[in-house]
């Protein structure tokens, strides 16, 4: 959702008389094309609302199914005294968390932006994912600790039959095989502990990429799918462009990329035409439609009018 609903959200900078501009616009109003911007929210179209509603229904069904499977595995794991089933339930918890966070972020995307949260509440998804990862790692650590204790002290009898039945219901092939082995050879209880350690590693490994993406968003790093050097080179290859300064590319949340830069053009170039060309290049080649681009000439007095206030990305955290 675009909180300010500005078509391309870019800055047009041309040479102007600052005194005249102050008289014309009152010295403080920002313009988005021909529409005054006061952080108003134009709302989403009925098509967007219907699409969001359909996605929320699908995610809700997925959450309910995962919760059912996870509940059965938790109860069955406790009854069977099987740590591997509980570990698989923790893996399901990561799926539940992912679906629930996506569901909540879809709901939150309908919230209106405010002057303080000018980009809306898109980073709720990132913060929620970070909390869920911490919870999953905590549960995995507890289960690994218990498995190590059982291996050292050779304690903990496992009901192989119940372990097999519960894992079959949960469609966990690895645990089901382990349960079948223990059902056939009850003295081989170490299989359950080995499965616990292996599945804990799998659970932790599946969350590493998610954690990396979260940290990159919070650190406002350039998204991995965007080559900033290549993008800058592409802009410099335009014959009207002399230099590109202050190029910043970051993400509000995963997949929501923003770009800001200052483009210096040749004296004879039309800044407006160059700006359109730059914005179109960025949109076409990198699929970034939310841009804040300043196009100006050397020794030029700039006046910018837009819904996006040009700020340093390091200060943007105060607005999000």
In this model, does residue 239 exceed pLDDT 70? yes
CATH code of the domain in which 239 resides: 3.30.300.30
The pLDDT tens digits for 264-279 are 998 888 888 988 999 9
Rounded Cα–Cα distance for residues 179 and 81 (Å):
11
Tell me which of 203, 218, 233 is where a domain ends: 218
> Domain span at residue 72?
46-218
pLDDT at 120: 78
pLDDT at 315: 45
Closest CA to 237 of 178, 186, 277: 277
Closest CA to 196 of 218, 163, 223: 163
CB 36 within 8 A of CB 130: no
Note whether 67 and 153 are same-domain residues.
Answer: yes
Note whether 23 and 51 are same-domain residues.
Answer: no
Rounded Cα–Cα distance for residues 169 and 261 (Å):
54
With respect to residue 5, please indicate whether it lies within any of the assigned structural domains.
no
Is this model's pTM higher than 0.75 or not? Answer: no
pLDDT at 144: 92
Note whether 148 and 294 are same-domain residues.
Answer: no
Note whether 102 and 161 are same-domain residues.
Answer: yes
pLDDT at 228: 93
Note whether 178 and 34 are same-domain residues.
Answer: no
Note whether 81 and 199 are same-domain residues.
Answer: yes
Tell me which of 194, 218, 242 is where a domain ends: 218
With respect to residue 8, please indicate whether it lies within any of the assigned structural domains.
no
Q: How many domains does the chain have?
A: 2
CB 223 within 8 A of CB 249: yes
DSSP-derived secondary structure for 103-170: HHHHHHTTSPP-SSSTT-STTHHHHHHHHHHHHHHHHHHHHHHHHHHHHHHT-----HHHHHHHHHHT
Rounded Cα–Cα distance for residues 111 and 8 (Å):
21
The pLDDT tens digits for 143-160 are 999 999 988 887 778 899
With respect to residue 2, please indicate whether it lies within any of the assigned structural domains.
no
Note whether 214 and 228 are same-domain residues.
Answer: no
Cβ neighbors of 100 (< 8 A, separation 6 or more) are 63, 128, 132
With respect to residue 286, please indicate whether it lies within any of the assigned structural domains.
yes
In this structure, what token pair is assigned to residue 211?
């954690």
């Amino acid at each position: 959702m675009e909180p300010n609903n500005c078509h391309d959200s870019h800055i047009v900078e041309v040479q102007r008389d600052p005194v005249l501009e102050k008289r014309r616009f009152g010295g403080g109003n920002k313009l988005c094309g021909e529409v005054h911007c006061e952080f108003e929210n134009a709302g989403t179209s009925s098509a967007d609302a219907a699409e969001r509603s359909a996605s929320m229904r699908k995610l809700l069904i997925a959450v309910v199914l995962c919760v059912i499977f996870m509940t059965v595995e938790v109860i069955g794991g406790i009854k069977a005294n099987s740590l591997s089933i509980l570990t698989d339930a923790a893996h399901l918890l990561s799926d539940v968390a992912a679906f629930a966070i996506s569901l909540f972020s879809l709901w939150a995307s309908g919230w209106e932006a405010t002057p303080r949260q000018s980009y809306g509440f898109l980073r709720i998804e990132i913060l929620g994912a970070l909390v869920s990862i911490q919870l999953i790692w905590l549960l995995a650590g507890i289960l690994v600790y218990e498995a190590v204790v059982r291996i050292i002290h050779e304690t903990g009898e496992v009901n192989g039959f119940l372990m097999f039945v519960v894992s079959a219901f949960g469609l966990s092939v690895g645990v089901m095989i382990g349960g079948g082995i223990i059902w056939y050879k009850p003295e081989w209880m170490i299989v359950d502990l080995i499965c616990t350690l292996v599945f804990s590693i799998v659970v932790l490994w599946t969350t590493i990429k998610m954690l990396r993406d979260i940290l990159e968003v919070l650190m406002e790093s350039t998204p991995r799918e965007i080559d900033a050097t290549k993008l800058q080179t592409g802009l410099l290859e335009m014959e009207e462009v002399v230099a590109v300064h202050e190029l910043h590319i970051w993400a509000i949340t995963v997949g929501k990329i923003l770009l800001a830069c200052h483009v210096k053009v040749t004296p004879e170039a039309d800044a407006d035409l160059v700006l359109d060309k730059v914005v179109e290049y960025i949109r076409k080649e990198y699929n970034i439609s939310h841009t804040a681009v300043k196009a100006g000439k050397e020794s030029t007095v700039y006046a910018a009018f837009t819904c996006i206030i040009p700020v340093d990305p390091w200060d943007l955290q105060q607005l999000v």
